[in-house]
Amino acid sequence: MQHLIDNQSCVRCPALVANRSRIVHGYGDPSARIVFIGEAPGQHGADQTGIPFTHDRSGARLQRMLTALGLMNNSQPTEHPRWQCFVTNVVRCCPPENRTPTRTEQINCLPFLLDELTQLNPYLIIPIGRLALRAVVEYYLETDPGSIRVAHAIPLRTNSRIIVPMVHPARISHAQIEAFIAVMQEILDAMRKCGLL
């Protein structure tokens, strides 16, 4: 398990620099062809631990889904996850009161995400929430992704990748979790057969 980027000195977003405890880059298996992309580190979670989707309720929900999909070895949510995927965010610093990052902050931080995606070359990408969906779909498909609630769990395909949008764990319903798990299991089974997992 490792971070692919170690920059801890970026100061491009003054409001976030004043609020953050640390810069939180992506974390996980660098050889994985699967990447989950969230919005930003949570105030009570990743901002404290330095690892995305840990130590808060959204992290626990996502980790339970990863366990159900066979992408995480830990049986319970943990601050030191060992997952068979990579987990990152569009924005690397925690916004004040967990507000949505501004468009400028997203653009400022995008080079870090693109650097990770270049290194990972993922086959399967899961944008988590509206902001991540827009960043991923604009980058790979150059289109407007529309609503995350409509796009949820419906695979989008490029020539060499699959994108499966997911409603943010803070707002996801049980029915949406079931739909997401079912779609993901089909894709993961196919990836196993092809040696991609």
Place of tokens 């490792």: 2
Q: How far is the CB of 24 from ligand SF4 (least distance, A)?
A: 9
Q: How far is the CB of 91 from ligand SF4 (least distance, A)?
A: 5
Query: What's the rounded Cα separation, in Å, for the pair 21 and 99?
Result: 16
> Which tokens in the block code for residue 163?
């994108």
162 within 8 A of 124, measured Cβ to Cβ: yes
The residue (of 115 and 176) whose beta carbon lies closer to ligand SF4 is 115
Q: Which residues are at the interface with ligand SF4 (CB under 6 A)?
A: 10-13, 16-17, 23, 91-93, 105, 108-109
The residue (of 84 and 88) whose beta carbon lies closer to ligand SF4 is 88
Q: How far is the CB of 139 from ligand SF4 (least distance, A)?
A: 16
The residue (of 58 and 88) whose beta carbon lies closer to ligand SF4 is 88
132 within 8 A of 51, measured Cβ to Cβ: no
Which regions of the chain does DSSP assign to beta strands (E)? 27-28, 34-38, 86-89, 124-127, 156-157, 162-163
Q: How far is the CB of 63 from ligand SF4 (least distance, A)?
A: 24
The residue (of 40 and 151) whose beta carbon lies closer to ligand SF4 is 40
Q: How far is the CB of 88 from ligand SF4 (least distance, A)?
A: 12
The residue (of 67 and 100) whose beta carbon lies closer to ligand SF4 is 100
Contacts of 26 (CB under 8 A, 6+ apart): 3, 4, 5, 35, 52, 86, 87, 88, 89, 113, 116
